A and B are shown apart, each in its own frame.
Chain A
Amino acid sequence: MRDYTIFIPEFIAAGSALGIIAVDLIWPRVRKDLLAYLCAVAAIAWAVASVFYIGKTPNSFQGLIQVDDFTTYFRLMAAGIVFCIALISPNYIRGRIDAAAEYYALLLLGCCGLVFMAAARELITAYISFELISFSLYILVGFLRRDIRSNEASLKFILLGAFASAIFLYGISFIYGATGSTYYDSISKAIDANGSNTAIVVGLMLILVGIGFKLAVVPFQMWAPDAYEGAPLPITAFIATASEVAGFGLFLRLFSSAFHTGAHEWAWAVAILSAITMTLGNLVAIQQTNIKRLVAYSSIGQVGYMLVVIAAIGYGDAHAGAGASAGLLIHITGYIISTLLLFAALIAYYNRTGHDTIRGMRGMAETQPFLALIITVALFSYAGLPFFAGFTTKLLMFQSATSNGLLWLIALGVVNSAISIYYYMMIVREMYLFDPDENVKRFSINPLLAGLAGVLLLAVLFIGIYPGPVLHGASKASTPLFQAGADATSNVTAQMLPK
């Protein structure tokens, strides 16, 4: 049956995107800030509409797109990301970007792609969603038309991204050739029945590379530092959050169902990618002087930690996998909140001073103590220091992913996490240990940004101190992932039993 009601939240989001463009077309003189608020309201409506799907029986659109608690969790994260990015953008955009309507519309559309990446249960659908968010990002990264770095970043991003998409498609063709289907369930059944073969493994590796590009997994990370540096600051935040959420949504859905039975074929590859990603990301981050590039490498390191969970899913059974997925979801949640918090402060500072180098943050504790505090909290949360989200979520994630075969990877993750404290401390050092350069006076910041940062700060503390509700939600969200896989397995087992 074609049940269109499961798309209502995305109808709202995409409809609002078109609506925002329409408003700008009809009233070209409209205040651009208003468009941002419209976008934020649309995000709230999106989230509210999603809430109605919590706890309902999983429902799918012809087996292509599944709406269950996992999808809902990603809808809420997507709406949250759009809401925050919309609110941190207007001041930055003013005077820098003319096409504000398209900017906000692309945020909404890109996040629709994010949701469908997590909701897809079929490879072509996943691919189209993947392209939807990728194209939104290509355009958004190049939005500063008069800035050569923004243009360069966008071009690099498009070329490498197109390459990644091609590899992804190529992988799908292998899988289709070997199993005769692009549906996750059918792939899983085919692997169950006939065992794995070279074509499947090659296809799988190509898909891994394709998504690896999206997530900036080493060695496919080349676009990330340039894209982060060249993009408008709010879009840097958008890449750092949406892109990672999307990639892991697809990873979780795909590897928990389609390829879970043949896990030993790919788990080792993910473990190795994870190890080099976190190590390289953290080591290169130490040498950065630009805050955006530093965040780029630090988020590459974070992706490395998160990949540990994907490897753990490969090494464990469905029960361990569900626990680990819950760990990953709570960590991603904490990570995006910390990132949005960091960028709210960076944008407020940039709007005022025009600095985006680490050196430029010298003496911030004197000129704007609130921002210095916010940045410190966000960085400490990244580093996994206590009371902040990062400590709790990283601990829960690594704990949930721990198994005898993967302890070496967990250990590497922990060591990397300790290394990362160094370069985060170096930023704290600039802000707190030195006096400001010139005779910079204390300045005040935009109340909207300050308010948003305050709310996000409380969220970081809440998750860090009382992770219960979020972990509970993450646990519910990750239950349906392995349910489907378990059902499929039990069906096959039932067929094989003698009647």
Chain B
Amino acid sequence: MSFDDAQGYLVLSTIAIPLLAALILVLLPGERKMESRYLSLIAGALVLGLSIYIFAAYQVDSSTFQMHLRWVWVENTAFLGKNGITFYLGVDGISAPLGLLNGIVAFSGALVAWKIDYRPKQFFILYWIFIAGVFGTFFSLDLFFWFLFYELATMPLYLLIGVWGSVRKEYGAIKLVMMLFGGSSLLWIAIFAVVHDAGLGTFDLTALWNAGQSGVFSPTFQKVFFPMFVIGCGFHAALWPFHTWSPDGHGSAPTTVSMLAAGVLMKFGGFGIIRLGIQLLPAGAAFWMPGLMVLGVIGAVYGAVAALTQKDYKLLSGYSSISHMGYVMMGLAAMNQIGITGSVMQMFSHGVMTALFFLLIGTLYDQAHTRNLPEFGGIARKMPIWAIFFTIAGFTGVGLPGLSGFIAEFHIFVGVFRSYPIFGALAILAAAFAAGYIFRMFATVFYGPFNPRWEKLKDISPVEGVAATLLVLAIIAMGVYWSPFTDRIGPTVALLPGLTH
């Protein structure tokens, strides 16, 4: 067994450990709340360690898939040919940083969920199923398993929001789940068409990519099915106009779930568009990318403008996510190396940033029990450490140099300017709005006259402080030393078909 194969088992562990944790939790009696928390902490630490290792051990000089693991699952039966369905894992420069993102968010999410006292066992079972689904999606190279994990990550959300959520939780939960599964149904259709049309009798993504890039799919076929993949994934990415689940879903979700849904789940959209859109149907991408650019710009500007008008800070974060994911779409639509590299970086950056936002919002909401921004004022006096964290998250959102948001958005803007200068200008406008809504939030919440109603507010708890520190470290690390990211993402992106230079 080569070293690369051995590493493949580490990739497998990122999926196996969360599932194992869920299984152990199922067997654990429900009254043992502390044990379920510790177990989750251990599982979280393990996947964090694994994801850091995978990111670090990724061989920068070779930009193909690494750390393979391949088990033949079903082949040469019924309509399936050789390698019909394989359990096939591998890491490339795009999935490595996204895996790292999931590891970081999963660990901090497990810490934040520490304070959940209502049926923590059940919460953590669903939580770890979700995490396994996310890792599986990022690392699968077989379309069957890719889609299985993709759906697996959506499935627990209904109960996670419906049972543990707050304000209008039933509405938010069913809306989120139905919209995401509705998006998936477009993926189902397009997957059936692609696998059938390739005529290989296999779900192996690498084989399908080869087919797609060597022109097996006719241009008409690609033009028909590329939008299905983009819209299907666009639901997850909160692509305008398929974004409406995001404010409602985040508004009612418990803190941890908001962190994950916004931090990780939304990344499925951008990731899926790269994997199933650009890599599979290059001619479709060439035809439709201007359309995606328009939607991305609308999303970026609309999200920012809507965020400006919000009075509820969770909705504000929901809309700000739509805006930031709009940048991701613009970077992808630019179809040049720097733009797509920026998109992947933005996915990482937005993931940690928005997780931090929702974490801090959760800390405040748990004490204040209101989410109405105008009711606050002068909070920074009572919660100084919290305010520092919040400032960092806000500055990342604005795109302050030295933090991850800047470098990611910079890449995207350069890429967009190269392909579509007008849209680049609009994107910068959206960034200006971002400054508006974030500084307005600072002003109303932190400063201004102190409202004596908040006399009893306590600062961030140590457990949450650890989680927040981890997220802040990731933000700063990427902001000041981004070459580990660009070294991984850039060469992989350069291999994508159909890029302009």
Contacts and interface: CB of A to CB of B under 8 A. Distances in A.
A395 B158 contact: no
A392 B155 CA distance: 15
B74 A386 contact: no
Given A391-B148, A414-B185, A402 B192 contact: yes
A428 B74 contact: no
A379 to B, nearest CB: 12
A475 B78 CA distance: 5
Interface in A456-477: 466-468, 471-472, 474-475
A418 B184 contact: yes
Interface stretch (A17-25, A343-351, A403-411): A403-411
A407 B193 contact: yes
A415 interface: yes
B196 A402 contact: yes
A69 to B, nearest CB: 13
Contacts of B78: 322-323, 326-327, 396, 400, 471, 474-475, 478
Interface in A397-432: 398-400, 402-403, 407, 410-411, 414-415, 417-418, 421-422, 425, 428-429, 432
A6 interface: no
Contacts of B196: 399, 402-403
**Residue among A392, A399, A432 with the highest chain B CB neighbour number at 10 A:** A399
A7 to B, nearest CB: 29
Interface in B184-202: 184-185, 188-189, 191-193, 195-196
A44 interface: no
A466 B77 CA distance: 14
Nearest to B182: A418
Contact of B189 (A327, A411, A428): A411
A73 B147 CA distance: 29
Contacts of B178: 418, 421-422, 425
Contacts of B195: 399, 402
Interface in B116-163: 133, 144, 147-149, 151-152, 155, 158-159, 162-163
B20 interface: no
Nearest to A398: B192
A407 B189 contact: yes
A402 B185 CA distance: 15
B235 to A, nearest CB: 11
B468 interface: no
A432 B152 CA distance: 19
A191 B368 CA distance: 79
B73 interface: yes
B79 interface: yes
B177 interface: yes
A327 B79 contact: yes
Given A326-B78, A418-B182, A386 B152 contact: yes
Contacts of A395: 144, 147, 188
A402 B195 CA distance: 9
A432 B156 CA distance: 12
Contact of B148 (A387, A410, A418, A468): A387
Contacts of A492: none
Given A399-B196, A402-B196, A421-B178, A410 B79 contact: no
B177 A414 contact: no
B181 A402 contact: no
Interface string A314-343: 000000101110110000000000000000
Nearest to B144: A395
Contacts of B162: 429, 432-433
Contacts of A322: 78
**Residue among B148, B184, B192 with the highest chain A CB neighbour number at 10 A:** B192
A380 interface: yes
Contacts of A380: 155
Contacts of B50: none
A432 B151 contact: no
Contact of B74 (A391, A398, A433, A467): A467
Contacts of B85: 467
A410 B195 CA distance: 13
Interface in B285-326: none
A385 interface: yes
Nearest to B154: A385
B77 A471 contact: yes
Contacts of B73: 466, 468
B170 interface: yes
Contacts of A392: 148
Given A323-B79, A468-B73, A386 B148 contact: yes
Contacts of B373: none
B174 interface: yes
B185 A326 contact: no
B200 to A, nearest CB: 12
A472 B84 CA distance: 12
A70 B308 CA distance: 65
A425 B163 contact: no
Interface in B58-86: 73-74, 77-80, 85
14 contacts: A326-B78, A326-B79, A398-B192, A399-B192, A399-B195, A400-B79, A407-B192, A422-B174, A425-B177, A428-B158, A429-B162, A466-B73, A467-B74, A471-B80
Interface of B: 73-74, 77-80, 85, 133, 144, 147-149, 151-152, 155, 158-159, 162-163, 170, 174, 177-178, 181-182, 184-185, 188-189, 191-193, 195-196
Given A386-B151, A472-B77, 17 more contacts: A320-B79, A323-B78, A327-B78, A385-B151, A386-B133, A386-B147, A391-B148, A399-B79, A418-B184, A418-B185, A421-B177, A425-B158, A432-B162, A432-B163, A468-B74, A471-B74, A474-B78
